[in-house]
Amino acid sequence: MSAPIPTRIVPSVQPSERTPAQIAREFRRRLEGGARLRPAGEARRNPLRLLSLGYTPKYKIELFDTEYYLTNPRQNPDIRFLVAYVVPDRTRPGRTDIYPRIFYKDLSLVWRSASHYVRSDQENWIGKGELRTLIEGDDEILYAAEETTDLPLEIQTALETLNRKIRRVPSDRAALRWILHRGPDDRIEPYRDFTEPRRRARADRRNLVNGGRSIARFTRKHDPTSLRFTAGFEPDFEAGIVERSRSKSRMYGGALGRFRILSRNRKVQYLFIAGPHQVWVIPPQATTTEITSYGVRSIDVLFDGDLCVPGYEYHFMDESQDPPFRVSQIPEGFAGAPSDVDPSRADASAWLDRLPVIREFRRTVLASRRRG
């Protein structure tokens, strides 16, 4: 029987100090030495075409046994993104496989790895990872667990740094079709290359966080004060802060503080984001070290999704339907004013500021920082 996936707590990584030209030469040497590019999209017929199209990496970051080569940022009308080349498990003997992926910044300000995409005259969206089932009364609702595409918290700051490297970000409408699986309109489920490594990791129950059970729940529906953590999985605001960094966001009103914080039992880590008006928490992650070819962890942390409502979340009237109906991802009764930047999103601070964990973060971390 193989050993369980190791865990390790490390500082957030930084991009290599080598120049873009040096990184590009290193990458080409790896290909000349026999490394194989394995895109999932149209470039799979001629993988080296990615380089002739301008997707040559300029930067490199390393986490555990995984290497990430990254281009300059690009954007299309929907997302800001980097083309990434993931080299998982570089210590494995034999020929190296390199996987081109799309890393994009979600409006919750977390960087994610797209699992696939759908584009037609009727649909245009990015796959958000593994499917799960939610039971509501007598109904079973199938949904994509977006946090399964969240990139490791240990590289989020590095990606923020690279995102600010250039001021004029070029437009690119073609990268997704070259690199990602393209699904039919009704394909919510990711493809097997995304799901299979995760299935294998979960097959050994020793790898599961809290035995595969949720670490946070609400004991009363639509009551933020009823949030409870499983003992040991609470954020350790006193001794568990492993990183403080800063970023900016026009939607959130300027400067943001970012705090990576361990749980008391050190099995889980959180990323709290503090803006001028809102504080919210990015979905928690394990401290396991296995990374898949999509650049994400193979092991998840289960939690009630209402713990991780971002500062602004979808809340709008869908006029394209007959009759129109309200679409909202904010708990009922807690939606505030719409965002000036994106009117389809509303302020969720009425919910967030009543969460006990957010109140404790404000009191323990933000207040002490101001005093300091």
Q: What is the pLDDT along the chain (372 residues), one digit of tens a residue?
A: 689 999 999 999 999 999 999 999 999 999 999 999 999 999 999 999 999 999 999 999 999 999 999 999 999 999 999 999 999 987 676 679 999 999 999 988 999 999 999 998 888 889 999 988 877 777 778 888 999 999 999 999 999 999 988 888 999 999 999 999 999 998 999 999 999 999 999 999 999 999 999 999 999 989 999 999 999 999 999 999 999 999 999 999 999 999 999 999 999 999 999 999 999 999 999 999 999 999 999 999 999 999 999 999 999 888 777 788 888 999 999 999 999 999 999 999 999 999 999 999 999 999 876 555
Check: CB of residue 283 under 8 Å from CB of residue 269. no
Cα 46 to Cα 41: distance, rounded to the nearest angstrom: 10
Q: Residue 63 has which token pair? A: 């986490």
| Residues contacting residue 131 through CB under 8 Å, at least 6 positions apart | 142, 143, 144, 145, 188, 189, 190
Q: Nearest 5 degrees, angle CA 279-CA 282-CA 288? A: 145
Contact assessment for residue 288 and residue 206, using Cβ atoms and an 8 Å cutoff: no
If residue 157 lies in a helix (H) or strand (E), which one and from where to where?
helix 153-163
Contact 336, 348 (CB under 8 A): yes
Q: What is the pLDDT of residue 275?
A: 95
Q: Give how far Cα 245 sits from Cα of 152, 250, 258, 296, 333, Å.
A: 16, 17, 5, 21, 33
Closest C-alpha to 232, from 245, 213, 247, 246:
213
Cα separation of 217 and 214, whole Å? 7
CA distance 38 to 255: 39
Q: How far is residue 161 CA from its own chain's centroid?
A: 16
Predicted local confidence at residue 94, as pLDDT: 67
pLDDT of residue 367: 84
Tokens, residue 17: 């100090």
Residue 165: what pLDDT? 83
